[in-house]
Amino acid sequence: MNTITKSKFTETKFYQTLTSLMAKNETMLVISIVVMSIVIGTINNKFFAVETIYETLLATVIWGIVGMGVALVMINGGVDLSCMPIAMFSAYSATKIMLWIAPNAPIIVLFLIGMVIGAGLGLVNALFISIFKIPIFIATLALGVIYKAVMLEFIGNIYITPAEMPQSALDFSRTYVFGGLHVSVLIMLGVILLTFFILRFTVIGRGVYALGGAPESAERIGYNMNRLKFSIYIYAGIMYAIGGVVYVSNSRLADPYDMIGTELTVIAAVVLGGVSLMGGKGSVWGVLLGALLSVIIKNNLILIGVTSDWANFVFGLIFVLAVALQAYNTARSKKQSA
Amino acid sequence: MSDFTNSIKKIFTRKNTKTEKARKSPLSQRNTQLIIAIAIFFAIMAIGRPSTFLSSTNVSSMLVQIADLGIFAMAMAVTMIAGGIDLSIINLANLAAVVNATLLKAVVTESMSSGTIWLLLFLCLIISLVIGLLGGLINSFLIANLGIPEILATLATMNLYLGISHIITGGRGIIGFPQQLLDIGSGHLGFIPVPFIIFIIVAVVLYIFIHRTPYGTHVKLFGLNQKATFFSGINNKKVVYKTHIIACMSAGIAGLLIMARTNSATVDYGGQMILITLLIGVLSGIPATGGAGNVINIFLALFLNQLINSGLNILRVSSFIREMVPAALLIAIVSLEYYLYVINNRRLNKQALEKSRQLNGEGAEKEAVT
């Protein structure tokens, strides 16, 4: 008798954990990544080689780092279209400043200059969004255009060639660890861990979710709305800047026209990662998995037999499906709780 | 046009009655502000550069430039009044253009008579409208039935429509259309260019929709407060569907117009236009959160935007700065509007507080007497 109840108990618990796991967005993502990998792996047996995995991770780096900032803004309840202009602005001007002041300084200086500039631009975003209450989408769309124009007009519109790039950036692009893993993957993991800890274990981090889920309640518990918003946008600006500097160093080329215009790819990856635009929901691991999935899909479309003409359509379709799936999940969980 | 004439009347006849309406000075009315701004810009330009600015070629080219931007602005404005946004209109217009272009390329031959080509062009118009209808249905299905936020839904479909156009053309532009279509794009009816007339027709239809039908009232109320409209028995889903179908069908017409005007159909025409349409909507006095709007004001805002644009052109400002101006204006206007709103609110609060204090004070005195 005792054993029967015990077995039933484990059964139910196992069942419960299974269902709760299945309901999680991350599980769905892991499953789809595995399925995609198996499909691609059967077509191309090189896909499971260590080098390919490392390469895929390296391609994910930019989307993962920038995605952290975009995810924070989206948890706050808005789409940030100024992510790539901020990334490029900070990276390009940081490179220029470093070449001008100290061309031989270590790579950390480049990162620091970029992060300061990124934080400044994030501050401008926060100013208009929290003080003047401009809707996030309109503010970031317009400010993104302004950042781009200011960069091209006042900072420069000629790309910096690999020969002119700072030596430390060139060295950075050739730094590998663990037999072929690029060092920027570690930076991405570090950034994601940092964001995870901030969101999970700090008062501000809990405030981000509270602000996105129910702004009025968050205010009544005693959160300072403006301070919270400023910290979100400044942190997001720093993330974009890190992403931009990593991108510029890795491509060994600072082209001010580059990157800008790929905002939607990041936003799609973040949405795919389960961050809800209704606010208050989303995890950093989801964003990482979403970025990974979109990179795998993007890099291997041609392998599966999708021509480049269809790539845009497939991307759009995935975007629409991700958004629709998320809306469906939200509706279902609402029904369950009601 | 009653608002327009009213505003002009208001400028000249200032009544000093004590009713609430008359106390609002005409200067605080958006259409008066726009007319004054247009007059100032026009005067500066006409005095500064009379030879280039007032030439008939410049005026007619300005009218042509207004046409397709105007249709997009109207489409965006309808969704903005409903408190939303539709980012997919430009790509939908390009999709309509690309589909029609491929069709015309495939069907039209040298030996065709002019009559059949006109018939084909009419068919193209219907195809554009159908594409608009389908696009609107997809958008509003995602928004109304699945409950996806409008920004995200239309951002996604924007990519989808771009992808479909890419499949059709392979990313290349299509050029070279029958002369009849180009005649629409470059023709004049008297002094006025034909594209402008088409824009006026679209604008009039939208005017009727927004100002003369129950739908117009519904869409404004919907923009103000969706819960209130839901509980007052307005079918919210229907409002969303109508709004997006109207916007997307106008976009379809705009696609055909772009084709006629530029003699080409490309997948990525007008990348910067979304921002400018938003700017025109905000300039015309649609609040960033929706709920109000006026077609006449949109019309005036379009003119103002065009004047600013040609002013920048004549001043030979660098292209980067020219790209930045609409964005900066957008930010400035929305910020200013919020600031004025806060100040006004503060004033009203103060008044209310004083009034209540007076009443309470009187009450206290009376109580003391009794």
Residue B19's pLDDT is 45
Q: Is the Cβ pair B160, A153 closer than 8 Å?
A: no
Residue at B342 is within a domain: yes
Residue at B22 is within a domain: no
Among candidate residues A282, A260, A262, A261, the one with its CA nearest the CA of residue A272: A282
Residue at B267 is within a domain: yes
Q: Nearest-CA residue of chain A relative to B338? A: A132
Residue B112's pLDDT is 78
Residue A10's pLDDT is 57
Q: How many domains does chain B have?
A: 2
Instruction: Mark whether B219 and B292 lie in a shared domain.
Output: yes
- Check if B170 contacts A (Cβ < 8 Å): yes
Residue at B16 is within a domain: no
Q: Is the Cβ pair B330, A264 closer than 8 Å?
A: no
Of B142, B148, B278, the CB nearest to A138: B278
Which residue of A81, A125, A141 to mutate against B (max B Cβ within 10 Å)? A141
Instruction: Mark whether B274 and B328 lie in a shared domain.
Output: no
Distance CA B86, CA B299 (A): 19
Q: Is the Cβ pair A313, B278 closer than 8 Å?
A: no
Residues of chain A under the 70 pLDDT cut: 1-11, 18-23, 279, 338
Q: Nearest-CA residue of chain A relative to B275? A: A142
Q: Is the Cβ pair A331, B318 closer than 8 Å?
A: no
Instruction: Mark whether B365 and B265 lie in a shared domain.
Output: no
Residue A1's pLDDT is 46
Q: Is the Cβ pair A145, B272 closer than 8 Å?
A: yes
Instruction: Mark whether B302 and B363 lie in a shared domain.
Output: no
Q: What is the CATH number of the domain that holds B226?
A: 1.10.3470
- Check if B160 contacts A (Cβ < 8 Å): yes
Residue at B264 is within a domain: yes
Half-sphere exposure (Cβ direction) of A222: Cα atoms closer than 13 Å? 1
Between chain A and chain B, the number of residue pairs with CB atoms below 8 A apart is 134
Instruction: Mark whether B303 and B332 lie in a shared domain.
Output: no
Instruction: Mark whether B262 and B333 lie in a shared domain.
Output: no
Per residue, the 3-state secondary structure of chain A, as one string, reads CHHHHHHHHHHHHHHHHHHHHHHCHHHHHHHHHHHHHHHHHHHCHHHHCHHHHHHHHHHHHHHHHHHHHHHHHHHCCCCCCCHHHHHHHHHHHHHHHHHHHCCCCCHHHHHHHHHHHHHHHHHHHHHHHHHCCCCHHHHHHHHHHHHHHHHHHHHCCCCECCCCCCHHHHHHHCCEECCCEEHHHHHHHHHHHHHHHHHHHCHHHHHHHHHHHCHHHHHHHCCCHHHHHHHHHHHHHHHHHHHHHHHHHHHCCECCCCCCCCHHHHHHHHHHCCCCCCCCCCCHHHHHHHHHHHHHHHHHHHHHCCCHHHHHHHHHHHHHHHHHHHHHHHHHHHHHHC
Q: Is the Cβ pair B149, A278 closer than 8 Å?
A: yes
Q: Is the Cβ pair B331, A142 closer than 8 Å?
A: yes
Q: Which residues in chain B are contacts of A268 at CB distance < 8 A?
A: 156, 159
Residue A191's pLDDT is 94
Distance from CA of B76 to the nearest CA of A (A): 13
Instruction: Mark whether B58 and B158 lie in a shared domain.
Output: yes
Residue A221's pLDDT is 87
Q: Is the Cβ pair A277, B151 closer than 8 Å?
A: yes
- Check if A257 contacts B (Cβ < 8 Å): no
Q: What's the domain range around B242?
A: 28-316
Residue B17's pLDDT is 43
Walk me through the domains of chain A, giving residue ranges and CATH numbers.
39-330 (1.10.3470)
Q: Which residues in chain A are contacts of B163 at CB distance < 8 A?
A: 310-317
Residue at B20 is within a domain: no
**B316, B340, B362 — which closes off a domain?**
B316
Instruction: Mark whether B172 and B104 lie in a shared domain.
Output: yes
H or E segment at B293? none
Q: Nearest-CA residue of chain B relative to A329? A: B146
Instruction: Mark whether B240 and B332 lie in a shared domain.
Output: no
Q: Is the Cβ pair A316, B288 closer than 8 Å?
A: no
Instruction: Mark whether B262 and B309 lie in a shared domain.
Output: yes
Residue pair A159/A253 in contact (Cβ under 8 Å)? The answer is yes
Which residue of A74, A92, A133 to mutate against B (max B Cβ within 10 Å)? A133
Instruction: Mark whether B163 and B201 lie in a shared domain.
Output: yes
- Check if B167 contacts A (Cβ < 8 Å): yes
Q: Is the Cβ pair A313, B163 closer than 8 Å?
A: yes
Mean pLDDT for each 10-residue chunk of chain B (370 residues)? Answer: 60 48 64 86 81 78 87 93 91 94 86 84 93 95 89 89 90 84 83 90 93 91 90 91 94 92 86 88 86 89 89 82 88 89 90 87 58
Residue at B265 is within a domain: yes
Residue at B13 is within a domain: no
Instruction: Mark whether B246 and B329 lie in a shared domain.
Output: no
